[in-house]
Structure 1
Amino acid sequence: MGDNTTLIDSLLHRLSTAFKIRDLGKSAFFLGIETVTTPDGMILTQRRYMRDILQRAGMSECKSLATPAAVTQPVSQSTDPFHNPTHYRRLTGALQYLTITRPDLSYAVNRLCQFMHTPTEDHWGLLKRVLRYIKGTLDYGLRVSPSVSSDIHAYSDSEWAGCPVDRKSTSGYAVFLGTNLVSWVSRKQRTVARSSTDVEYKGLADVCAEVTWIVSLLRELRLCSSTPPALWCDNLGATYLCANPVFHARTKHVEVDYHFVRDKVSSGEFQVHFVSTKDQLADIFTKPLPAARFGTLRSKLNVVCHQPCA
């Protein structure tokens, strides 16, 4: 990658003298991901892949839904096993690949993956709801556009004891390079947290590690910004914990490796700021949301609709 056409052509020429290569030109369709050019950039979409998943599930003509997860339908501990667990695992695995261009599916797919070993009829119902949401958003994809800024800012959020089965918390983050979403995750934490501050601080530790890697990659590409990355969290206790060593007296039970966030902040490499829950973009990765709230956050993550190609 680069912005010097002469150097790129020279490199391709030198490679062609040693290897048999073919220049395919601009990317259009690669590993199931289609590139749709727009006036302000491009959209990465997996329309064909989504249609294939619906066909494999026998739901090509199903009715669509506005969200992939219901707010009022928690995961139950049903003992009625699903009659075809292999089919469940295959579809859930396929949905994991779909999250490459659809961050709005991350929470719902992560929840489905937690029951791969023994799926029940209830879990199959959750999977079908995700597929019905996909049916109504076939023309959605991840927008990538030129950005005047190369600053990194990340949103971290956690839902304390959100799982009704084991009371473990779900964390999520979204990392932006300028205006473009470049990394995101939704994951259940491995241990039960004692407070909301604990779980939010663990979420900050996860996004801190991710941003550290992204900064390292950008430095290799000579695209690093002089401005320290900004991490946004909606828990005041966690933000204080990052900056105030005295506050650690209240959190001696927190694992030591979490505290590297404070070291990053004290050295000036990162800045941690408070953001209101209303403006917390990572909220979409931690819990089911009402349709209006879900749609707002989806658009802010640059998951947008495009006109299908003729």
Structure 2
Amino acid sequence: MDLEFNALIHNNTWRLVDRTPDMNVVRCKWVFRTKRKADGTVERHKARLVPKGFTQVAGQDFFETFRPIVKPTTVRLLLSLAVSWGWTIRQLDVHNAFLNGNLSETVYMRQPPGYEDKARTDFVCSLQRSLYGLKQAPRAWFDRLRAFLVSVGFSPSNTDVYLFIYSRDSVCLYLLVYVDDILVMGSDATRVRRLLTDLASEFKIRDMGAPSFFLGIETVSRDGGLFLSQQRYMQDILTRAGMVDCKSMATPIPVSRPVPDSVAPYADPMQYRSHLGTLQHLTVTHPDLSFAVNRICQHMHSPTTEHWAMLKRVLGYVKGTLHFGLFIRLSSSLVVHAFSDSDWAGDPNDRKFTSGFAVFLGGNLISWSWQKQRTVARSSTEADLSAS
């Protein structure tokens, strides 16, 4: 706590001002977290001062909000290029990233619990920098990072604004942003090191070397390629669901028609939605789960006992595929191949169809999706045409 508080003071995060009756003063608290490595061992313990953003007033304390999250397809595409072309890849961690954001709004916060100024206990903090917990904090951090990257020659991508591209003198550098985690890769190792030096001069960063654990995904070098695994995350899912010792299933979903709607509703819909949320992130490296997760997600608004049984079957499949992952191999060809398919009138309840696609870059799968369509196809040809 002392280290975090001293960092906040050193960063001029706030200044104490007199409290007035018209102020909306945001409360705050200390949050403690244990950071773990890819193998689950403890890396460090961290304390963080977090404002209670739910007490902010829209239009007064904040306006625009968003989170800088690069698309998974972008990550897989660039990793495929990096492996195929032998690029240098570095993973960076920005220390207290949100503290680097400058607030354009006026936000008042109570003094940190346990660190109140005894001479001015009735004063409040007028925030100069953003903090974790503020609704506009991710935007403020990203605005500053983007301004810096543009100043050193990077340009944001037109298709993914959280991807920045540097292309000069036959040198290509790519920088991907996922909140406060950054991946840097490029064709010139010297230029990559120079970029890390520039970033270190502006922000407090930690060079973690070649990526090993990024976005909850373990990255393992194997046979000249990269194996992306979420084994630890899968074990956490099973633990959370109380199914660590469940029976393994060979398939994620039975090859049968969807269950009818006229069955008993499930008693705890929030539990159903919570487990579905964890499974959706698992599809980042598990295309084999995409269809099953899409099907059970269609019933989040009113799950039944049969839908819960389907979800438990998916969890049983997760138990049997803990060692599965996505392998990105060295590919001599970078030709794009796309495949699509659909099931005509696959849902007997509303006669709508589900379509899906898979996109390969050379021999690497980089994008996939399954989606239930909103319209009814009058023939299998029309369904296939809509899917493509």
Measured in 2, the distance between the counterparts of 1:118 and 1:188 equals 17
The one-letter code of the counterpart of 2:259 is V
- Residue 290 of structure 1 is matched in structure 2 by none
Q: Indicate the structure with greater strand content.
A: 2
Matches within 5 A, 1:262-273: none
Structure 1 residue 31 displacement after superposition: 2.0
Where 1:117 maps in the other structure, the secondary structure is: coil
Measured in 2, the distance between the counterparts of 1:21 and 1:101 equals 27
Q: 2:262 aligns with which of 54, 71, 78?
A: 78
Q: Contact 1:102 / 1:142 at 8 angstroms: preserved in 2? A: yes
Q: 2:333 aligns with which of 140, 144, 149?
A: 149
- Structure 1 unaligned segments of length 5 or more: list them: 205-310
Structure 1 residue 32 displacement after superposition: 1.2
- Residue 62 of structure 1 is matched in structure 2 by 246
The one-letter code of the counterpart of 2:281 is Y
Q: Contact 1:85 / 1:119 at 8 angstroms: preserved in 2? A: yes
Q: 1:113 aligns with which of 297, 304, 307?
A: 297
Correspondence 1:51 to 2:235:
yes
- Residue 323 of structure 2 is matched in structure 1 by 139
Deviation per CA, 1:242-291, whole angstroms, max 9, x where unpaired? Answer: xxxxxxxxxxxxxxxxxxxxxxxxxxxxxxxxxxxxxxxxxxxxxxxxxx
Deviation per CA, 1:161-213, whole angstroms, max 9, x where unpaired? Answer: 10122110000000001110010000101111111121111111xxxxxxxxx
- Residue 282 of structure 2 is matched in structure 1 by 98
Q: Contact 2:257 / 2:347 at 8 angstroms: preserved in 1? A: no
Structure 1 residue 74 displacement after superposition: 3.1
Measured in 1, the distance between the counterparts of 2:195 and 2:215 equals 24
Measured in 1, the distance between the counterparts of 2:256 and 2:386 equals 27
Measured in 2, the distance between the counterparts of 1:118 and 1:82 equals 8
Structure 1 residue 73 displacement after superposition: 5.3
Q: Contact 2:328 / 2:364 at 8 angstroms: preserved in 1? A: yes
Over aligned residues, Cα RMSD in angstroms? Answer: 1.1
- Structure 2 unaligned segments of length 5 or more: list them: 1-184
The one-letter code of the counterpart of 1:42 is L
Measured in 2, the distance between the counterparts of 1:18 and 1:135 equals 44
- Residue 21 of structure 1 is matched in structure 2 by 205
Where 2:332 maps in the other structure, the secondary structure is: coil
Correspondence 1:39 to 2:223:
yes
Further displaced range: 137-146 or 4-13? 4-13
Deviation per CA, 1:84-142, whole angstroms, max 9, x where unpaired? Answer: 11100000111000000000000000001000011000000100110111100001000
Measured in 2, the distance between the counterparts of 1:72 and 1:134 equals 20
Q: Contact 2:334 / 2:362 at 8 angstroms: preserved in 1? A: yes
Measured in 2, the distance between the counterparts of 1:177 and 1:115 equals 33
Aligned-pair identity in percent equals: 57
Give the structure-1-normalised TM-score: 0.64
Matches within 5 A, 1:155-174: 155-174=339-358
Measured in 2, the distance between the counterparts of 1:27 and 1:78 equals 49
Q: After the TM superposition, which parts of structure 1 deviate over 4 Å for at least 4 consecutive aligned residues?
A: none
The one-letter code of the counterpart of 2:187 is D
Measured in 1, the distance between the counterparts of 2:322 and 2:195 equals 38
Structure 1 residue 72 displacement after superposition: 3.2
Structure with more relative contact order (C-alpha pairs < 8 Å, separation 6 or more):
1
Where 2:274 maps in the other structure, the secondary structure is: helix
Q: Contact 2:257 / 2:346 at 8 angstroms: preserved in 1? A: no
